[in-house]
Structure 1
Amino acid sequence: MNKLVLKVFKKVSLHLFFWLIVWFFFSSFFSVGSKNENFIFWFSTILSTISILSSYVFVYYLIPEFLITQKHKIFILYTFYAFVFIVCAVLMTVVFGFVFFYNLEYQQMPALTKSLAVILVCVILIVVLASGLKILKHSYKSLEEKKTLENKFLQTKLELKEQELKFLKMQIHPHFLFNSLNTIYGFAIAKADEAPEMILKLSNLLDYILYQVEKPKVLLIEEVNHLEDYISLEKMRFHDTLKVNFNKEKLNDSLQIPPMLLIPFVENSFKHGVIINGVLNVDIRLRTVNNCLVFEVENSSKRKEEASTGIGLPNIRKRLEMLYPEKHQLEIIENNDTFKVHLKIEF
């Protein structure tokens, strides 16, 4: 309540100060060539009252109700009515001074108070000034409201992006874990000596998936280390039927990328790659050049009339579009015997 009272008090004080200045303007301007202080006082007071009434009609009724709502014809009509009122009121003010202060002696009146055109210009100038301030205030308020709405929209959009990213990650993780657990399950049945090593590597991968993946970004070298663990797991699963060549060049140790960004490409090559002549060949090349990361995965494959990549690559494509809009290039090249993915990201 106190804040509301203070706000009203400030507004009323500001208005009173403005109209006091207007009264002093009329008093100073029309007192030129006149020594009748009583007449100047009442003349300025009446003109100020006309200005106040006309201004508030425009500021609180005509502009909000018709001009801002783009009812231009009605606004022009009421503006004409207001102009007629101002002319009549100013004319009556001149007659009032002529009759009551100068006893019908027109020649004795100050020159400026006899000029209807000058008086009208002064009054209309005040009305236009008050109306202009109202329009400026409305424009500023509209701009602030627009900025607030834009900020809310951007915040909502950002939250939706974060939720969609989490959803995409949730789709990737079960698929990744399913393959890894299947591999260990096969070794456990066979009681292979490699099972403990596989469990250790998988525990590292689980730590990466469950904890590190929630971070917005991780060091590139961390992603590479876990990518190598995953490749080792798949080599154990495939035995001699998998040949992987992982070539790393000039990796930037300080470069950071979103977690689980590269592994799904390799996972896709293992899942959809084709064993040709007893071997599934996978070539992986990773390098950083200036502020760019270049990642390529090529695996042996056979062209199919109806290719199916599952949910993996479409999800990765959507994730890249959200994380690096207009700053990445993803090419998928399918030949008769190879399937190649080329990714370039600018940082």
Structure 2
Amino acid sequence: MQVKNQYKKFVGILLHILMWVVFALTFFSRQPLLSGSTVILVMLIAAFYLNAYVLVPQLLLKNRVSLYVIVACVVVLSITYFSGLAEHIIDSWHLSRVSFYELINIPDAGPEALLGFRNVFTIIMSGLIVGISTAITTIQKWQKDRQEREAMEKEKVTTELSFLKAQINPHFFFNTLNNIYALTATDAAVAGRAVHQLSRMMRYILYDTAQGHTMLSQEIAFVNDYISLMQLRVTDAVTISVDVPASFNDVAIAPMIFLPFIENAFKHGVSATEPSNISFALQQQANRLDVTVKNSVIKHNSASLDTNSAIGLTNTRRRLDLLYPGKYTLHINQPGGGNDYVVHLVLNL
């Protein structure tokens, strides 16, 4: 990165040098080396950088516009005055008559008339240089401010996503550990397999998702592991179905984006005695994912449905807003006349 910055700085300096060389050759190539034109060129270069690095940052960009205009006018008039003074001291009239002054095409014009035209030319040229310097500096400042805002926004988004993910993970682990704890009292062998599955899922969360994204195949494998783990504690009264295409386009996706919906389905759609069902269905068309999570609503769980699931669903909505702004739709069908709680997510990757 440091080498890249040094290279960019070197290229910038080189471009400035080439700019002034072209400028000098274009406007002053026919002038004697020792003349007022040389003084003008030196003063224009000085005015350019004085304006770019002092006047614009310290005055114009700090809303001291009136003072900036006054100082800029003083700079332009100073260039005109000192270039005329240099012309008078150098006395290059006899050297430059065949060059600059003849280009004006004013027959029999004396030094005074031509010097007046030269002053007008100097004022125009000085104003143009100061204006270009102001425009370049202002644009660079605007671009720098925009890059800083984008960097701050990106950092803010990254921090918020990390915070939201940190909220989701403990929520998941607490639920899963409670399930394994319940298994230890009934079947130690099954509990051991559950611990192994949980360790594999933890490895996925801690390492495979460290970059902030994962592949769809990995996320589906994680969902299958989670559902398989949860099946260890449900009774035969619960019907669980998973509908995932056998082959699909393996695209990058935000990790654990489906987990809160599946967690809520198991938390609120499972009964040890009443018939209940949970289903997870995923369809893909190109880069469009269509995910539906459905669960039956158990009466003794329905009272806590909104309060207990609020954190997970709120965080997931926030993650979707940050990661896929304008690229997703999320519909949650609260149980009313029907008996199912349905979450439908359409995601354009």
- Normalising by structure 2, we get a TM-score of 0.69
1:156 is aligned to 2:159: no
**Match among 253, 256, 263 for residue 260 of structure 1:** 256
Aligned counterpart in structure 2 of residue 112 of structure 1, from 109, 113, 121: 109
CA distance in 2, matches of 1:75, 1:300: 76
Structure ID, larger Rg = 1
Q: Deviations over 1:209-260 (max 9, x none)?
A: 2222313322222221221221122222222242211111364252222221
For 2:208, the equivalent position in structure 1 comes to: 212
Report SS of the residue matched to 1:264. helix
Count of paired positions: 301
Q: Are 2:269 and 1:273 aligned?
A: yes
Cα distance in 2 for partners of 1:278, 1:230 equals 23
AA aligned opposite 2:207:
Y
Answer yes or no: is the 8 Å Cα contact 1:51–1:123 preserved in 2: no
Give distance in 1, aligned partners of 2:316 and 2:218: 19
How far apart, in 2, do the equivalents of 1:70 and 1:138 lie? 12
**CA shift for structure 1 position 53:** 12
The 1:57–1:287 alpha-carbon spacing in structure 2 relative to 1, beyond 3 Å, is closer
- Judged with a 3 Å threshold, the aligned counterparts in structure 2 of structure 1 residues 326 and 54 are, in CA distance, closer, same or farther, namely same
Is 2:310 the counterpart of 1:313? no
Q: 1:57 to 1:320 in 2, by over 3 A?
A: closer
Identical-pair percentage: 26
Question: Greater CA deviation, 213-222 or 49-58?
Answer: 49-58
Counterpart of 1:71 in structure 2 is 66
8 Å contact from structure 2 (residues 55, 68) kept in 1:
no
Match in the other structure for 1:341: 343
Alignment of 1:296-311 (within 5 A): 296-301=292-297, 307-308=306-307, 309-311=309-311
In the TM superposition, what whole-angstrom CA distance separates every residue of 1:93-141 from its partner, at most 9, and x where no partner exists? Answer: 8xx9xxxxxxxxxxxxx7211774x643332112211221122022112
- Normalising by structure 1, what TM-score? 0.70
Whether 1:171 and 2:173 are equivalent positions in the alignment is: no
Is 2:291–2:345's contact at 8 Å kept on the other side of the alignment? yes
Structure 1 residues 160, 72: closer, same or farther in 2, change over 3 A? closer
2 CA distance for matches of 1:240 and 1:321?
38
Structure 1: where are the runs of 5+ without partners? 1-6, 28-43, 97-109
Q: How far does the alpha carbon of each residue in 1:3-33 deviate from its partner, in whole angstroms, 9 at most, with x for none?
A: xxxx9xx99xx79x959x76965x8xxxxxx
* SS class of match (2:280): strand
Residue 196 of structure 1 pairs with residue 192 of structure 2: yes
Go from structure 1 to structure 2 and tell me whether the alpha carbon gap of 1:296 and 1:52 turns closer, same or farther (over 3 Å shift).
closer
Tell me if structure 2 keeps the 8 A contact 1:215–1:259. Answer: no
Amino acid at match of 1:196: G
Per-residue CA deviation, residues 25-53 of structure 1 (Å, 9 max, x unaligned), is 5x8xxxxxxxxxxxxxxxx96x7699799
Partner SS for 2:117: helix
CA distance in 1, matches of 2:204, 2:38: 77
The one-letter code sitting in structure 2 at the alignment partner of 1:158 is: K
* Partner residue, 1:325: 325
User: Structure 2: how far apart are the matches of 1:51 and 1:256?
Assistant: 60
Contact 1:292 1:344 in 2 (8 A): yes
Q: Distance in 1 between matches of 2:180 and 2:45?
A: 83
One-letter amino acid of the structure 1 residue matched with residue 193 of structure 2:
E
Distance (whole Å) between structure 1 residues aligned to residue 272 and residue 310 of structure 2: 22
Supply the distance in 2 between the matched residues of 1:74 and 1:183 (Cα, whole angstroms): 74
Unaligned runs of 5+ in 2: 1-12, 92-106
Q: Which residue of 2 aligns with 1:105?
A: none
Whole-angstrom distance in 2 between the partners of 1:112 and 1:51: 22
Conserved? CA contact 2:59–2:68, under 8 Å: no
CA separation in 1, counterparts of 2:237 and 2:257?
26
Q: 1:131 to 1:252 in 2, by over 3 A?
A: same
1:290 to 286, 292, 296: 286
What's the Cα RMSD here? 4.3
Alignment-mate amino acid for residue 124 of structure 1: V
